[in-house]
């Protein structure tokens, strides 16, 4: 019976909430298949993060701490993951499907000669991994036939593992990666700062599309978001136009979200966009074209000019809150 | 500079596919096939690099014989020649990566450019796997690629969570294209005419001597959960009232 090894992600010394989806999956997986759930933290000066990881029911938290391991590079981290996958007798290696995990885990899979399933939503009775294909218009049951299985876990499909008392044993990893031989160097990280909640963690998301017609128009979306303490999302069209940062793109090739409330403002509802938000609990669409496909997934549709409707919504909500 | 760039034949990205009633796949009858949009961006980037630094762009595809059409599209954009590895059997990203590694061994390109994912399987795995098999660096989800003058390395800006990650990678390397790397050109009429005469080498998958055993096998397909039909509201006050009293989300 193999174990499940999950790679934890963190930012500024804090475990990312998103990682708890993969923790939850690993707990479920090991409860069903036997074996234990382990966590791996990689980086430099990550003792704090490793400590935080002890609170989610893992039997062991592996800490690979070395100067050369921070910041992240797929080439060095993949070697560490492969090493610890062996040390921890993992039959499943995974992480929540973030940009980092999508970059890292296929490389790990190749190193371990393992099959990989991306963005999994669950497991069926045969032990096959359920995952979206064709922009989420179909779900396939994917069997991984190799002894080690690599997965990324869709964050919206698993309730984050609950935080408890510190448990699991802390296990330092002796890292033997030749950093001189990596063929890649980190240059810099250009952070896009925002005071708003993260897209993948927000209860409410207000998203804007090409219909907002520019940065000025997009501000209406942001106003509504700020009033509700919501995150801001966007379509590819709005991102390509440079009105909002790239990592706000929701969709097949951007972020997948499932908040309690998703408000689509001036968004047509292309299949690539729907792929990223149709799992939201309540969907509102505001569009002046009554034929827009976004209405087919909306719980509440309003055919209106957004430049009138959104400011009016802000006023109504202020009234309702007062 | 010799660049190997990959193109996958995929169903039209803007068509919503349906699952076959027996769950054996998706219905593809009547759907056009196109070059995977991310691969088109990779081809464009390869051409821009070639136009600046000189050299050759070789286009590779693995798939049915019909995929010559997708290779020709890339040749019409300006690539020099194509390689089609023919097979009708199902593949997984690992098999594709091994085949590409074999082509790299034969072609010895200075750079490999690929799309970050194909819009049918949505795996986002092959480039990373290829880089590992070749023992070279990877720069995935690229939104900007700058080559050093001596052609020995590339500085790549990557789209990641929370911003942009800039890395410097030694060549040869695998770079995968994200949406905002460039806007692919349309093939010109002379380009299309010229492409008809450009060489495409066809080899069968079996002749390459690579391990073609899949480690990921697709079984049943099912429909994603469908949403209950919603309602249209006449005005903003009604909408806000519904959100507050019915959906209880604000
Ligand atoms: C490979 C690939 C990957 C892609 N990945 C993604 C992805 O991850 N995410 C994504 O979002 N897209 C993605 N796309 C793009 C996608 O196909 C669509 O082009 C995009 O989602 C359209 O954005 P939009 O709805 O903002 O713009 P449009 O489709 O132009 O829609 C604008 C809408 O605004 C409405 N409108 C205009 N003016 C007003 C007004 N005054 N008041 C109210 N409504 C108004 C219009 O009626 C229209 O419905 C991808 C495309 C490709 C090819």
Sequence spans of domains, chain B = 2-245
Contact (CB<8Å) A281/B249: yes
Mean pLDDT of chain B: 97
Contact (CB<8Å) B138/A103: yes
Q: Which residue among A132, A135, A184 sits closest to B167, beta carbon to beta carbon?
A: A184
Q: What is the pLDDT of residue A79?
A: 97
Q: What is the pLDDT of residues B175-190, one digit of tens each?
A: 999 999 999 999 999 9
- Kindly list the distances between the CA atom of residue A306 and the CA atoms of A214, A221, B70, B236, in Å, as whole numbers in the listed order: 13, 9, 40, 11
ipTM for the complex shown = 0.97
Q: What is the pLDDT of residue A320?
A: 85
Q: How far is ligand 1, taken at its centre, from the CA of residue A273, in Å?
A: 7
A residues 127-186 near B, CB within 8 Å?
128, 132-146, 182-186
Distance CA A193, CA A196 (A): 9
Distance CA B217, CA B214 (A): 7
Q: What is the pLDDT of residue A180?
A: 80
Q: What is the pLDDT of residue B229?
A: 86
E strand segments, A80-211: 90-96, 115-120, 122-123, 129-133, 138-144, 149-153, 169-172, 184-191, 204-208
Confirm if B42 and B5 have CB atoms less than 8 A apart: yes
Q: What is the pLDDT of residue B161?
A: 95
The string of DSSP letters for B221-236 reads EEPPPPPPP-EE-SSH
Q: What is the pLDDT of residue B70?
A: 98
Distance CA A258, CA A21 (A): 13
Residue A255 Cβ < 6 Å to ligand 1: no
Residue B109 Cβ < 6 Å to ligand 1: no
Q: What is the pLDDT of residue A32?
A: 93
Distance CA A193, CA A206 (A): 18
Residue A251 Cβ < 6 Å to ligand 1: yes
CATH annotation of B2-245:
3.40.50.620
- Smallest CA–CA distance, residue A63 to chain B, in Å, is 23
Distance CA B2, CA B4 (A): 7
Residue A322 sits at the chain B interface (C-beta within 8 Å): no
Closest B-chain CA to A184 = B169
Structure tokens given for B85: 């590895």
Exposure letters B139-174 (e unless 16+ CB within 10 A, then b): bbbbbbbebeeeeebbbbbbbbbbbbbbbbbebbbb
- Smallest CA–CA distance, residue B202 to chain A, in Å, is 27
Give me the residues of chain A with pLDDT under 70, please.
1
Determine how β-strand A60-65 pairs with β-strand A37-43. parallel
Q: What is the pLDDT of residues B87-143, one digit of tens each?
A: 999 999 999 999 999 999 999 999 999 999 999 999 999 999 999 999 999 999 999
Residue A83 Cβ < 6 Å to ligand 1: no
Q: How far is ligand 1, taken at its centre, from the CA of residue A172, in Å?
A: 48
H-run or E-run covering A99: helix A99-112
On the question of pLDDT at B17 being above 80, the answer is yes
User: Going by CA atoms, what residue is nearest to atom 51 of ligand 1?
Assistant: A272
């Amino acid at each position: 019976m193999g174990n499940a090894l999950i790679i934890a992600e963190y930012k500024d010394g804090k475990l990312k909430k998103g990682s708890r989806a993969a923790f939850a999956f690993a707990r479920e997986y090991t409860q069903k298949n036997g074996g234990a759930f382990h966590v791996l933290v990689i980086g430099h000066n990550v003792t704090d993060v490793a400590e935080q990881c002890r609170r989610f029911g893992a039997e062991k938290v592996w800490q690979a701490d070395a100067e050369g391991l921070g910041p992240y590079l797929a080439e060095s981290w993949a070697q560490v993951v492969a090493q610890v996958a062996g040390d921890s007798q993992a039959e499943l290696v995974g992480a929540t499907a973030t940009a980092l995990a999508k970059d890292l885990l296929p490389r790990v899979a190749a190193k371990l000669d393992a099959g990989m399933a991306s963005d999994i939503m669950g497991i069926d009775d045969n032990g096959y991994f359920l995952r979206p294909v064709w922009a989420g218009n179909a779900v396939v049951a994917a069997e991984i036939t190799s002894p080690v299985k690599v997965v990324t876990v869709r964050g919206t499909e698993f309730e984050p593992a609950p935080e408890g008392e510190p448990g699991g044993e802390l296990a330092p990893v002796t890292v033997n990666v030749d950093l001189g031989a990596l063929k890649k160097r980190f240059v810099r990280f250009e952070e896009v700062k925002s005071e708003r909640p993260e897209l993948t963690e927000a209860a409410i998301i207000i998203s804007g599309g090409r219909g907002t017609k520019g940065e000025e128009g997009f501000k209406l979306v942001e106003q509504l978001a700020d009033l509700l303490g919501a995150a801001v999302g966007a379509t590819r069209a709005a991102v390509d136009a440079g009105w909002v940062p790239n990592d706000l793109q929701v969709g097949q090739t951007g972020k997948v979200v499932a908040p309690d409330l998703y408000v689509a403002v001036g968004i047509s509802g292309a299949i690539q966009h729907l792929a990223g938000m149709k799992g939201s609990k309540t969907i509102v669409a505001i569009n002046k074209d009554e034929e827009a496909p976004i209405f087919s997934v909306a719980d509440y549709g309003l055919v209106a000019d957004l430049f009138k409707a959104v400011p009016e919504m802000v006023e109504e909500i202020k009234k309702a809150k007062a | 500079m010799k660049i190997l760039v990959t193109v996958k034949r995929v169903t039209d990205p803007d068509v919503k596919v349906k699952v076959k009633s027996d769950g054996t796949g998706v219905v593809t009858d009547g759907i056009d096939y196109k070059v995977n949009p991310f691969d088109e961006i990779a081809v464009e980037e390869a051409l821009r690099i070639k136009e600046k630094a000189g050299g050759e762009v070789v286009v590779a595809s693995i798939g049915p014989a019909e995929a010559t059409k997708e290779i020709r599209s890339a040749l019409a954009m300006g690539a020099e020649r194509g390689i089609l590895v023919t097979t009708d059997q199902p593949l997984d990203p690992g098999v594709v990566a091994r085949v590409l590694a074999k082509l790299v061994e034969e072609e010895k390109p200075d750079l490999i450019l690929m799309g970050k994912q194909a819009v049918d399987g949505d795996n986002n795995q092959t480039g990373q796997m290829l880089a590992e098999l070749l023992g070279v660096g990877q720069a995935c989800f690229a939104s900007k690629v700058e080559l050093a003058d001596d052609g020995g390395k590339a500085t790549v800006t990557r789209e990641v969570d929370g911003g942009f990650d800039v890395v410097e990678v030694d060549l040869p390397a695998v770079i995968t294209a994200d949406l905002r790397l460039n806007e692919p050109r349309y093939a010109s009429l002379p380009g299309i005419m010229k492409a008809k005469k450009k060489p495409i080498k066809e080899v069968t998958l079996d002749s390459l001597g690579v391990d073609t055993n899949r480690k990921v096998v697709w079984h049943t397909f099912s429909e994603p959960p469908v949403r209950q039909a919603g309602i249209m509201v006449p005005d903003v006050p009604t909408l806000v009232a519904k959100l507050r009293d019915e959906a209880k989300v604000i």
